[in-house]
């Protein structure tokens, strides 16, 4: 197959135009590469945050208090309305409330009517130093709260 001079000229012109067009389009290629790199670094940073969050969750789960058999009973008691919010007593937080419920105490009355030996046994079970319950006046606080005297409790212990 023989090409004419005009066909060779057209072919050369197309090759040169293709080369020029390719060179011009490559100048914008850096923009796409930068966008790709930014997206990739954002994805890697996101994955690093997720991994750090998962490690923190595992650490918290390792230190969480175990859920005992009485915990189910405390949940059932709360559902029946037979459980008081023991966190109203100064010195008891949510975790301690669960542990106290695990010990079988669900109401203000249960704390208010504890004997000294029951108080000592509860301190031992919860890992408190002896005399903490008496120092924090849990029984007096529970007595006021059981009688519905929340304003007086707030004034004395709040």
What percentage of the chain carries pLDDT values higher than 70? 85
Cα gap 158→149, rounded to integer Å: 13
pLDDT, one tens digit per residue, over 85-106 is 888 999 898 888 888 888 889 9
Do residues 70 and 101 make contact, with C-beta atoms less than 8 angstroms apart? Answer: yes
Do residues 87 and 74 make contact, with C-beta atoms less than 8 angstroms apart? Answer: no
Average pLDDT over the chain, rounded to whole? 84
Do residues 65 and 95 make contact, with C-beta atoms less than 8 angstroms apart? Answer: yes
Lookup result for tokens 């100048």: 27
- Read off the pTM: 0.50
Q: Would you state the structure tokens that stand for residue 48, as one six-digit string?
A: 């690093």
């Amino acid at each position: 197959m023989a090409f004419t001079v005009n066909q060779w000229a057209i072919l050369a012109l197309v090759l040169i135009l293709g080369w020029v067009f390719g060179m011009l389009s490559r100048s914008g290629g850096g923009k796409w590469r930068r966008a790709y790199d930014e997206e990739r670094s954002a994805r890697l940073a996101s994955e690093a945050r997720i991994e750090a969050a998962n490690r923190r969750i595992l650490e918290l789960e390792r230190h969480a208090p175990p859920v005992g058999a009485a915990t189910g009973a405390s949940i059932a008691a709360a559902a029946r309305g037979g459980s008081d919010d023991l966190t109203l007593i100064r010195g008891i937080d949510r975790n301690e409330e669960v542990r106290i419920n695990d010990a079988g105490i669900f109401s203000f009355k249960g704390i208010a009517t504890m004997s000294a030996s029951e108080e000592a046994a509860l301190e031992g079970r919860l890992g408190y130093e002896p005399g903490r319950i008496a120092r924090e006046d849990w029984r007096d606080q529970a007595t006021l709260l059981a009688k519905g005297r929340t304003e007086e409790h707030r004034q004395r212990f709040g």
